[in-house]
Amino acid sequence: MIIMNRKTQIVRNHEERQLIVERIVALPRDLAWQGWTNPKHVARWWGPRNWTATIYEMNVCPGGVWRYRLSPDDGEGEIAFCEATYREVLKPSKLVYVDSFADENWNVVEGSEMLTTVAFEELNEGTRLSITTQFANVEQLETAEAIGMIEGYTDAIERFEQYLNQI
């Protein structure tokens, strides 16, 4: 199923257990890469609108860890602690990491692992940003949809482009 939201395209592929989010952002690829890999930038746009990202650690290299918290600005909603471990880093074109929910002590919640690939493709009009999240099973994909991951990614990519165009 394909969903268009403004400039963001969402593909939900239940057969492959994937959620694909794609958007052409009006940014040069090197700036898009910096915006996705520098914690001072990521803290300004990561997550849905009206949520704040706190970056505790971000070591963008194979085996490196990214630990972050997402908190609702109005206090309504559950705080999410997450930990990602980078598997592949090909500057400035590709990131592959396993993103997982964690508890406040950074213990990964079993069964929450999501293999995520972020591709940065240079185009004349900017950069095609493609995020592919691979789930272990269809139920995990459906749960991600139910908790608002599609809206969260859409908001985050819009915030990403807006923020980076202002710096």
Predicted local distance difference test score (pLDDT) of residue 121:
98
Predicted local distance difference test score (pLDDT) of residue 79:
95
For the chain, 167 residues long, give each residue's pLDDT as a single digit of tens: 544 445 899 999 999 999 999 999 999 999 999 999 999 999 999 999 999 999 999 999 999 999 999 999 999 889 999 999 999 999 999 999 999 999 999 999 999 999 999 999 999 999 999 999 999 999 999 999 999 999 999 999 999 999 999 98
CA dihedral 74, 58, 100, 41 (to 10 degrees): 40
| Contact call for residues 2 and 10 (beta carbons, < 8 A) | yes
Domains of the chain: 2-166 (3.30.530.20)
Predicted local distance difference test score (pLDDT) of residue 52:
97
- Please spell the DSSP secondary structure of 19-39, one letter per residue: EEEEEEESS-HHHHHHHHH-H
Helices (H), 12-109: 29-37, 39-45
Q: What is the pTM assigned to this prediction?
A: 0.94
Q: Give CA–CA dist 54/114, Å, rounded.
A: 20
Predicted local distance difference test score (pLDDT) of residue 34:
98
Beta strands per DSSP E along 14-143: 18-25, 51-58, 65-72, 80-90, 94-102, 114-123, 126-134
